Each structure stands twice: as C-alpha cells, then as structure tokens.
Structure 1
Amino acid sequence: MRDYFCGWYFKCQSDKQTVAVIPAIHTTKGKCSCSIQLIAEEGAWSVELPYNRFDKSRRCFSIRAAENCFGREGFRLCLNTENCSAAGSVRFGAFSPIRYDIMGPFRLVPFLECRHAVLSMKHTVTGELRINGVTYSFTNGIGYIEGDRGRSFPKEYAWTQCAFEDGALMLSVAEIPMGAFRFTGVIGIIHWRGKEYRLATYLGAKAVRIQNGEIIISQGDMLFSMKLIEKHSVPLRAPVNGSMCRTIHESACCSASYCFRKNAQTLFSFETARASFEYEYLR
C-alpha cells in the first residue's frame, strides 16, 4: 500500500469569527489512520479517529469520520476527547464552483507529490459550532471548500484564500519537484463580479516575487499581488510521505492585502482582516 494522504478543508466565516475543519485520511508504511483538525483564532486541535470508522462515497461528495459527517449540504461535528470537545452543525448554500480542474493538464501528470482541488469558492454558511466551550455562530456566513491529496505537502509553499463583497480568491505557489528538476508552480482563481480569472503555470503564470510574506504573480496582461501584513498563525499537522508528522502554520483569519490588475487597470485593491494565509517559504 503506497504512502498517501487525502484531506478536505472546510472554512466557515462570519463577520467576527472563523473556523476551519479538516477531515483527512493518511497511509504510511502500510498503516492507515484518520483525523480531524480544527482551526480557529483561539487555537488549533487535532483528533485521531479509528480508520475503520471512515467512509467516503464514490458517487457523491459525502464523508463520514466516526460520528462526524461532511457533504455538499453542510457538516456535523461530534468530537469529545481530553483535549478537544466539538459539537454542532452548519448548512451550506449553493456552491460557487470553478470552471474546470484547478490542476489543468497537470492532473494527467503521474507521481506529483500533491494535487489540489477547489470545490466551492464561496457559499453561504448557517449554523452553530461549539469548540472547547466557545460558540461560533454563522448566520448567512461565508464558506470555502478545497481539497488536497498525494504523498506530501510541498517543502516550500504559500497559500491564501479570501472572500470579499464582490467575489473571492485563492492562490497557491509552491516549489514542485519533477524528477531531477524543480520549478515554482502557480495555481489561482479569482471570482470577481461574475467573472472567473485563472492564474496558473500551465497558462504562463510566473512568480515575480516571493519574499517576506509578499507574492507577485504575472500572467500575460494580468498582475496579482498579495501580502501578509499581520499573521495570527497556529500550528497544524501536515503530511510527509503520508505521515502527519510535519508542523506548518496557518493564519485562518489575519490581515493581508490584495491587488489585481488587468490591461494596466486595477480591478481591485484592498486590505482585509479576514484573510487566510499559510507562508512556508524560508525567504
């Protein structure tokens, strides 16, 4: 049995609170396991669950991990361990999918260490979660869902996601090993006032700058920049050859700025305190 991981990222956000929930399965050296990680501004928690209590439907987007259920309609949490108590449920509105696979032609390339998927750029979230005594309430909140699968997270990468009044965006930049070579890969989606813009290596996107929490991407007549202003990061577990033995840091809700230009015109430029950010570059 090959080393493998597969995880799904459910982000729920209101005007004042943010929670992300990550159910995942992992296989390393023939041993299978299952976990759920929770991220909030107050901290992060990881709960191990029996692998034989995990099930994913092949026919539709439906995941069950013990008493915890995830799907297109929403999710339900029921966790009770020494370090983490979580209960409640949320309902989702209609998804905002992307036009086609975020990996583009790279979806056909074998042996990639990590493959990304975007299920919904933006949808409504309604419900209530209670995590370690703190209540998180969502009334017409905003949600985002993505997934990752493969062997390992990239050694160096950056990722961001943000929903805002006129749209939503996500972007990931990573150092990708390809046999004896390495290259900087870019995948990103911007939904803006009913239009979709895609930034990707397979469309000619290049990382012009990656330094000190700032990333600038150029692709044809488009220029996108993002900068982490003030992080509020918490530690998360991430896969290395299927084993969740690496520690990364995510700011589920932090200050960042974004700017998007096309044909030398600025479509948007703003600073927000509601961004999500991971910056795992050493520079």
Structure 2
Amino acid sequence: MMERKNEFCGWYFRCQSGEKTLALIPAIHASGASGGERTGSLQIITEGQNWNIPFSGAETALAWARPRAVVGQNYFCGRGLSLNLKTPELTARGQLRFGPPARLGYDIMGPFCLVPGMECRHRVYSMGHTVTGALTLNGEEYRFDRGTGYIEGDRGRSFPQKYLWTQCSFPGGALMLSAAEIPLGPVRFTGVIGIVQLAGAEYRLATYLGARAGAIAGGQITVRQGALTFTAACLEETARPLRAPDSGAMTRTIRENVACRARYRLTDGDRTVLELAASRAAFEYEY
C-alpha cells in the first residue's frame, strides 16, 4: 500500500481494562539506500515492559483506508486482533474483540488531509469501543471484560521532531490531542489536532479551525481556539521506549507513558466543560 520510497505506515491499538493497559503497533516501513527495502514490525508496550519484534516485508501487509494489518501470524482490524507470536524475548497468544467504533464527524486532519508533501499524516479510527477477550504475554494474562479501546494510525516519512501527544478514555467520553512542529516546504509551524468527546458532544481543536498552542514545556500544553481553552499536563514519568520512523526507517527512539497520571481541563468561556484527573492516560512528550 506504500507508493513512495522512505515511507512508513502503522496502526496504534490501545486497550484498557481495570488495572491492565497495553498498546500494540503493527507497522510497515520502506527504507534503505534504494529507498524501497520493505520491512515490518510489531511493537507491544505495557506499563512495565516493551517489545519490538521485526518481520520481513513479505510477512507484513497493512491498509491505510481502515485499520487492517497482518504481521506474521498476528492479525489486526477494526473488529479485533489475534496474536500468535513466539520469539526468544516474547511469547504472545490470544484474541480480543472490539465493539462498534466511536467515529469522528470528519477526518481529524480536516483540509490538511489533502495537502501534498506532509511529513506525517494522522488518522483516528475510533475514539472508544469495548474490548473483550484475553491476551497472554510471557505467561502474564491481560483479560478484558468490556474494557475500553482506542485506534489511530500514522503514515508518512518521519514522525515530527518535536511533538506532544496524549489520549485518555474516561466515563462518558474520551479525548486525544497532538501538537507538533510541522515542516511544509520552507515553512515551519506548530500544528494542533484534538478531540474531546463528552456526553454525545464533540469538541474539536485544530489549526484549521483557528487553534493555537501556547507554551509547550515540562509535559504541559495550553491550546486556545476562540472561546475554548484546553490544557493537558503529564503528572508522572513512567515512559517506556518505542521505535519511531525517520525517513521510513524505524531508527528513532521515543518514549511513551502508556498509563500515567495526567490532568485535563476544557473550558468554553466561563463554563467548565471537563475537569479530569486521570490515573491511566497515555502521554508522549518529545520537546
């Protein structure tokens, strides 16, 4: 599905239930001296461990129009996933079933999804859905009895050099926010995309709607868009390393808090829409 050299495509599946959280990232990458050597990978991250399992390009296939991936004998789609993996580092087995996705009103990138030459394109498939089933990782069981899931994807050449990303599910809703330094030709700017779904309403914050990020420092950010003000802050550092793309190759190391304490606040003028102290949020901070 990749048409250009030095490109990557990956899907991110986050699953939570009770005190268990894990994220799974199947990906395909095309890199090398010729720019076209395809390889695959499956990354799994929990609160205490992380694994990066390489695969050949012949063993890997991904779709971008919707979440669908085959990595070895491991299968992922919008309805669930199945693991059948045995390496010296990790033995993983099991299946998860996903309920109907909570979709967005329209593409998270808005008109930017049509702009050519973007370094990285983002897609949110489901802000929240039920997760049922069980996975076993090196003998430890991760059981999901109507747990909560989230699915997003990225495609392009490289992850932004500087970015902040967070995602959190909570009773009655879910949120995600990303702010990143975007190179577009000779111009660089801080782009913002974010969604807060709450009680059937969708609050969207985006550069194409006039959103502007204030100072981004110390794992905190404030975004303003008209009467809306959204703040997010990571309150603890529990990050595990992940591999990320640089010119199509998974040579960069980033760090993700897959389940950490975080604070969020959304106001609309003088009205507080959301005030949340989360104990199991996802947070990446690369500034």
Structure 2 CA distance, aligned partners of 1:272 and 1:182? Answer: 33
What SS does the aligned partner of 1:102 have? coil
Distance change >3 Å, CA 61–CA 178, structure 1 → 2: closer
What is the aligned counterpart of 1:15 among 18, 21, 36?
Answer: 18
1:236 paired residue among 237, 242, 246: 242
Aligned counterparts, 1:235-274, within 5 A: 235-274=241-280
Task: Structure 2: state its 5+ residue gaps.
Answer: none
SS for the counterpart of 1:110 is coil
| 1:217 equivalent in alignment to 2:220 | no
Q: Once structures 1 and 2 are overlaid, which stretch shifts more, 111-120 or 62-71?
A: 62-71
Moved over 4 A (4+): 57-61
Residues 28 and 61, structure 2, Cα contact 8 Å, conserved in 1? no
Instruction: Output the CA distance in 2 between the equivalents of 1:225 and 1:5.
Output: 31
Offset of residue 231 of structure 1 = 2.0
Identity %: 49
Residue 175 of structure 1 aligns to a residue in which SS? strand
Q: How many angstroms does 1:60 deviate by?
A: 5.9
The 8 Å contact of residues 101 and 128 in structure 2, kept in 1 or not, is answered as: yes
Match of 2:152 among 127, 146, 149: 146
SS in structure 1 at match of 2:235:
strand
Cα distance between partner residues in 1 of 2:63 and 2:11 = 14
1:103 & 1:60 partners in 2: Cα distance? 15
Structure 2: how far apart are the matches of 1:101 and 1:134?
37
Query: RMSD in angstroms over aligned alpha carbons?
Result: 1.2
Cα displacement (A) at 1:55: 2.7
In structure 2, the residue matched to 1:280 is 286
Equivalent position to 2:120, from 114, 121, 125: 114
Distance, in Å, in 2 between the alignment partners of 1:91 and 1:108 is 33
Residue of structure 2 in register with 1:53 after alignment: 59
| Further displaced range: 247-256 or 56-65 | 56-65
Q: Is the 8 A contact 2:23 2:258 kept in 1?
A: yes
Give the deviation of 1:209 after TM superposition.
2.2
- Deviations along 1:57-92, one digit per CA (max 9) or x if unpaired, are 688643211211111210001111111211111000
Q: How does 1:121-132 map to 2 (within 5 A)?
A: 121-132=127-138
Shift of 1:264: 1.6
Residues 149-228 of structure 1 correspond to what in structure 2 (within 5 A)? 149-228=155-234
- Partner amino acid for 1:39? I
Offset of residue 179 of structure 1? 1.3
CA distance in 1 between counterparts of 2:44 and 2:66 reads 24
* Structure 1 unpaired stretches of 5+: none
- Alpha-carbon shift at residue 159 of structure 1 (Å): 0.2
Local SS of the residue matching 1:210: coil
Task: Report Cα offsets for 1:101-125 as digits up to 9, x if no partner.
Answer: 1111111111111000000000000
2:103 maps to: 97
* Residues matched between the structures, number: 281
Instruction: Give the TM-score, by structure 1 length.
Output: 0.97
What TM-score does the superposition give when structure 2 sets the normalisation length?
0.95
Which amino acid is the alignment partner of residue 4 of structure 1? E
Matched, 1:26 2:32: no
Query: CA separation of 1:105/1:248 partners in 2, compared to 1, >3 Å: closer, same or farther?
Result: same
Q: Distance between the aligned counterparts of 1:61 and 1:153, measured in 2?
A: 19
2:5 corresponds to which residue? Answer: 2
Aligned partners of 2:21, 2:66: CA distance in 1, in Å? 27
